[in-house]
Amino acid sequence: MIGAAQAAPYIVGVLGVGGIAVWASGKRELVRRWRSWVMIAPVVGCAHYLGAPGIAVLAAALALVAMVEFGRTARLGRPETIVAAVVTAAAPITAWLAADFLWRLLLLGAVAVVLVPVLAGDEHDGARQAAFSVYGTAWLAGLSGLVLLGPAAFALCVAVAVADVGAWCGGRLLGGPPLSPLSPAKRWGGVLGGAAAGLTVLALFGALTPALAIAVVVAAPLGDLLESMIKRGAGAKDTGGWLPGMGGLLDRIDSLLLALPVAVVLS
């Protein structure tokens, strides 16, 4: 299986060719997305190059930022967001240092986030706050899969990222009926394009296993729809605006948040 160090020259080459293509297109949105990828790729690559410690720290940082975005989107109170963020950030670290304790941490974390509105005596919005806090904690705890999957995590991350580009291209070239009312702009042609692109990457990385294939082809697009459901319920277009052309961090990692736990379970 190809690791981060071996894949680095190829990723740099793809980004270089992609940069020429997007600049030639003259589309500002594509240029902004390419710039974001140029910032993201080295961070993810360096974390995987450092091994489990680097991956655990990266996953914890992602969980913190993503939970802040989720808390804002779901209109959680500050105490609920803080407790949920601590639990989700602790999950990847626990997966690295004491994997057998991870399920206990998540159970205790679920109890903790539920107790926050209870102890605050929130009789008006407490039930919703508790439900969304538990949901967000369970959802973002999926980032622990970056640690639990070991070397396969890097191949999955690259495959899901490339599948996202393939889905964008496939949706415009192949079209087809809408994938779901949750995201009318996404087409079945995009699913086919994303599947082809993602599976190709897994094969090139020597990581084409049934578990990772299902994670990329099935779980990744469902993860995208899952976040779309949350945003539509909240009346939000994006969960943030700090990643040029991509919205917030949750908008970038939504596919991974379902692909990772599915890959872990099936593996």
pLDDT in tens, 54-84: 999 999 999 999 999 999 999 999 999 999 9
Position 47 in a domain: no
Confidence (pLDDT) at 135: 95
Q: Is the pLDDT of residue 244 over 80?
A: no
- Looking at residue 9, what is its pLDDT? 78
**pLDDT given for residue 190 in this prediction:** 85
| Domain encompassing residue 141 | 54-148
pLDDT of 147:
96
8 Å CB contact between 195 and 163: yes
Based on the domain organization, do 109 and 138 belong to the same domain?
A: yes
Residue 132 CA to residue 137 CA, distance in Å, equals 8
Looking at the domain assignment, is residue 108 inside a domain? Answer: yes
Task: Please count the structural domains in the chain.
Answer: 2
- Residue pLDDT, tens place only, 5-42: 787 777 878 778 777 877 877 778 778 887 888 888 88
Based on the domain organization, do 113 and 169 belong to the same domain? no
Please state the length of the chain: 267
pLDDT of residue 144: 96
Q: Which candidate, 84, 73, 161, places its Cα nearest to that of 117?
A: 84
Question: Are residue 219 and residue 173 in the same domain, yes or no?
Answer: yes
Which has the higher per-residue pLDDT, 23 or 266? 266
Q: Which has more confidence, 181 or 259? A: 259
- Alpha-carbon distance 58 to 63, whole Å? 9
Predicted pLDDT at 87: 97
Which two tokens mark 25? 């297109």
Q: 108-149 pLDDT, tens per residue?
A: 999 999 999 999 998 899 999 999 999 999 999 999 999 999
Structural domain contains residue 263 = yes
Among 89, 113, 148, residue at a domain's last position: 148
154 plus 210 within the same structural domain: yes
Q: What's the confidence (pLDDT) of residue 255?
A: 93
Whether 240 shows a pLDDT value over 80: the answer reads yes
In a domain, 103, yes or no: yes
Segment 223-236 shows an average pLDDT of 90
DSSP label of 144: G
Task: Say if 18 falls within a structural domain.
Answer: no
Query: Sorting pLDDT into bands at 50, 70 and 90, what band is 227?
Result: very high
Q: Of 123, 148, 173, which residue constitutes the final position of a domain?
A: 148
- pLDDT higher at 250 or 184: 250
pTM for this model (two decimals):
0.91
What tens digit of pLDDT does each residue of 184-215 get?
A: 778 888 889 999 999 999 999 999 999 999 99
- Chain centre to alpha carbon of residue 89: 14
SS3 per residue for 47-79: HHHCCHHHHHHHHHHHHHHHHHHHHHHCCCCHH
- Report the chain's mean pLDDT, rounded to a whole number: 90
Percent of the chain exceeding pLDDT 70 equals 100
